[in-house]
A and B are shown apart, each in its own frame.
Chain A
Amino acid sequence: MTSIVSQALWIYFYITLIGLIAIAVYGIVVRPNLLKKIIALSILGDTANTFIIFLGFRRGGAAVPIIPTIKPTLEELLWFKETAVDPLPQCLVITAIVINMSVTAFLIALAIQLYRLYGTLDVRKAVRLRG
């Protein structure tokens, strides 16, 4: 019974991810407003990060990948190896989050400048302007 419930929860999680990606792609491709495109892009990035973290997850009593002592015994290390989640995706994602944030800042800077110079954030109008 519990396995069916947990399976259903995982499928729910997957559907949420798909839904978020769909929203993000809709925002990036369809919305003409540059600001909304940037928001959608950051949603896409965060969804991808969630997915990567999720790939390293471990079913059944997973522990954080941190040993609480500096001098662990060999038994503690073996236990740690068998219970902790995969630290590799977390390592990749923490840098990705900061890069995402700085790239978003750069895109916002571009958008603000576009608005200042041309008075529009609509990409359909902006591509017709030459200056």
Chain B
Amino acid sequence: MVISKVRPRSEIIIGLGVALLLVLTLFAVIAGATGFTPKEDIRPLAKFYLYYAINWYEKKFWAASPEAVNSMVWDYRGYDTLYETSVFFLAIIGAIAVFRIPGVKDVFSKGILSGRGLSLIVKTITKLVIAFVLIVSIAIAVHGNLTPGGGFQAGSAISIATLLAIAAFSRIFLEERKITTKLMLPIRVLGVLGIGLLALGPALIALSGIMSFVIQNQPKPWADWGFIPGVGPFWLSGNQFFYNFFEFVAVGAGFTVIYLIFSIPELIYKRVLKK
């Protein structure tokens, strides 16, 4: 097949148009369209969030989390996060659906694929690093409402452990430890279900006559109901701790599924597609 070197004119015009639009937008920002950035002051809305995030003296708008970003992700702008979680869920379902070819199994016995593998040094170091990754990502998840990090970050971090294991050992190493797509898909659904129940729970309470709204965390002037901010020495920030944990589970399992699917050997697909 011959491919002409000359591009269609429409393609060039679209490309130039998009580039011009983006460059003009940036120049407009430099010239002061959004006010000169960076300013020494921030928007009043941001100040509101910063001031009320863990304000013990005016509790009417507080989110009970000392981390302003986390209180925004799971409280003030919770709807954003809910829908972004669903976008994430659907994107991974899309990837799985594209890779579903009848006849391709994603669990192999040792006989089909056998190789020499990497050296002992690499394997030992990878084992250590995987242990560290697991510990650190769980720490990021459960401290999400107190320190930088949260469910999304921890989930992305823990999925790297899978990737390392696939690179240094193989898929079979994971399968022997029961980490398969069959196990990870339900875990992912459980994580998303947890988030959904936590978000809808307050709305169900509203059925009993107490005023509350979807994804409510702390009591508000118009909805006098809320989660307990902390139990004993553990500061949970209401339901934010649980949101972070479920998001961690959902994102971690989701990316693990993606990496497992991507690591199915090309050999298997070729064998099936040739038939």
Contacts and interface: CB of A to CB of B under 8 A. Distances in A.
Contacts of B39: 58-59
A95 B91 contact: no
A106 B68 contact: no
A8 interface: no
Please report whether the interface of chain B is mostly helix, strand, loop or mixed according to DSSP: helix
Nearest to B229: A70
B3 A99 contact: no
A56 B37 CA distance: 8
A67 B42 contact: no
B108 interface: no
Interface bracket on A:
35 or more
A117 B50 CA distance: 53
Contacts of A106: 91-92, 94-95, 98
B86 to A, nearest CB: 10
Contacts, number: 178
B225 interface: no
Interface residues of B, number: 70
Given A14-B26, A97-B152, 19 more contacts: A30-B15, A67-B68, A69-B66, A86-B46, A87-B46, A88-B43, A88-B49, A88-B77, A90-B69, A95-B73, A98-B155, A102-B87, A102-B258, A105-B92, A106-B95, A109-B99, A109-B261, A110-B98, A112-B262
Interface of B: 1, 3, 7, 11, 14-15, 18-19, 22-23, 26, 29-30, 34, 37-43, 45-47, 49-51, 53-57, 66-69, 72-73, 77, 80-81, 84, 87-88, 91-92, 94-95, 98-99, 146-148, 150, 152-153, 155-156, 230, 235, 251, 254-255, 258, 261-262, 266, 269-270, 273
